[in-house]
Amino acid sequence: MAKPRNELIRTGDAALPALYSRMQTAIAECHSIDDCKNIATQAGAIAAYYKQIKDDESVRRFLQIKIRAWRRIGEILNGAGVDKATCKMPPSQGDGFNMAEYIRKIRAVFKGDSDVADLSDNAFRHALKVAEMPKEFFDKHAGEHASIDSLVASFIGFQRREWEKSPEGQAELKRQRTVDERWHKNYQEQLKVQERERREQAQRDQEEAADINALLAERDAAFNEVGITLDRRDRKQMHQIVFLLKKQVYETLRQAAFDHRTTMQAVLRAGLMMWFIAHGYQVPAGDMKLPMKR
């Protein structure tokens, strides 16, 4: 069984079934992780050789040998006697099975065994997952997969389907559907509320825009009717000051001008003159004559 890799590859096609059978027997009788790893390595090399010559059936059979060797490694590791019930996740993380803790405790049992020490945590997980598969499932599906990852994924799917058929699974699926339907309904309601709020905001924006346009129109009208220029005492250059009047003030200004039979500009000039005088500014008497009521 311990033939060198090259010697195994040189084995003729006629000897292939016998080699396959011997490797299967060797796996069943294997109690050493190192021996199982050697078988897995040899089977992988043989599968790679037959892949080059496009012998798909031989590739499939020897990849199955490789997977079986890793399953045997997992069985040896599980035989360490570590109680899985003692390997729990913290309550804050769901109190489920803690694979990392399980691996750590197995390593402690095999302390000093270089073959176990050389196994990575990922290799540990592969071996343990394959070893935990029911024999019936493994024997039926191991030959259908080229890798342990693929086989494990297939087993997870199988477990999911079996769970969905169970009363517990049916009840949980029904509960999940109810939760999903409720969430979907709430989500649709939120969308409706958001759409309604969006439309209301658009309506408010439209009304505000209309109000602004109306105000601008009133401002333009005020520009056309009300406006004065004057010299500011602290500047040499003439600046134009335009007064924008709200509607109520504007109407009062018009009424005052009408009552005194003068112009709105004259009323504004009089007001400015009074403000200047009250604040100590000197205003030439001839520049701003107070309107006289006739």
106-147 pLDDT per residue, tens? 999 988 888 888 889 898 998 999 998 998 998 888 888 888
Q: Is residue 52 part of a domain?
A: yes
Dihedral over Cα of 72, 76, 79, 81: its sign: negative
Q: Is residue 95 part of a domain?
A: yes
Q: Which two tokens stand for residue 176?
A: 């999940």
In this predicted structure, the answer to whether residue 230 has a pLDDT above a threshold of 60 is no
Contact 266, 241 (CB under 8 A): no
The domain of 206 spans 166-224
Per-residue pLDDT, 106? 92
Mean residue pLDDT across the chain: 80
- Structure confidence at residue 183 as a pLDDT band (50, 70, 90): very high
Q: Is residue 288 part of a domain?
A: no
Same domain, 121 and 73: yes
**Residue 284 three-state SS:** coil
Residue whose entry in the numeric block shows the structure tokens 């799917």: 157
Same domain, 118 and 207: no
Q: How far is CA 281 from the centre of its chain?
A: 70
The span from the CA of 275 to the CA of 254, in Å, is 20
Q: Which of 103, 136, 157 is the last residue of a domain?
A: 157
Q: Which of 130, 157, 184 is the last residue of a domain?
A: 157
HSE-CB for 169 with a 13 A CA cutoff: 8
Residues in contact with 277: Cβ distance below 8 Å, sequence separation at least 6, in sequence order: 283
